[in-house]
Amino acid sequence: MKPYRGSFVSEQLRYITDENGEQIGVVLNLQQYQELKSQELSHSDAELLIGLSEEELYALAESMLVPIAQERLEQLLEANAENQLSDEESTELDRLLTQVDHLTILKTRARYTLKKHNALLLAA
């Protein structure tokens, strides 16, 4: 039988056979196992950010609004607290708050993905 060569297998697989010579299992190296577990998790957990490197996940988890946007947000929030927003500024504030919400969700998903990834490494 030819060895399987999928995207996660870089070398020949070793099979476990029973007393009749029937293949009943396969031996994977640690990297192959981790990739399979990661694929399994990605299919069962839609919140995971799949396809990003660990460095990219850390960068995303620690990201923030650019300083000029953060400063503008603070100005608009202050003006809003004093009921001094024009219609355009109110729209801008809503847009910035929506952006902050989306960024917070992405950061949380990145942290969650890192946590799951680290748990997988510890379980292996």
Angle at the Cα of 29 from the Cα atoms of 24 and 33, rounded to 5 degrees: 80
- Dihedral sign, CA of 97, 103, 107, 109? positive
Count each helix (H run) and each strand (E run) in the chain, helices first: 4, 2
Instruction: Encode pLDDT of 3-41 as tens digits.
Output: 444 444 445 678 888 888 888 887 877 777 767 766 665
d(CA 25, CA 87): 66
Of 83, 65, 61, 62, residue with least CA distance to 73: 65
Considering only CA atoms, give the Rg of the chain: 24
pLDDT at 1: 38
pLDDT at 6: 45
d(CA 18, CA 113): 38
Q: Which residue has the higher pLDDT, 15 or 75?
A: 75
Per DSSP, the three-state class of 52 is: coil
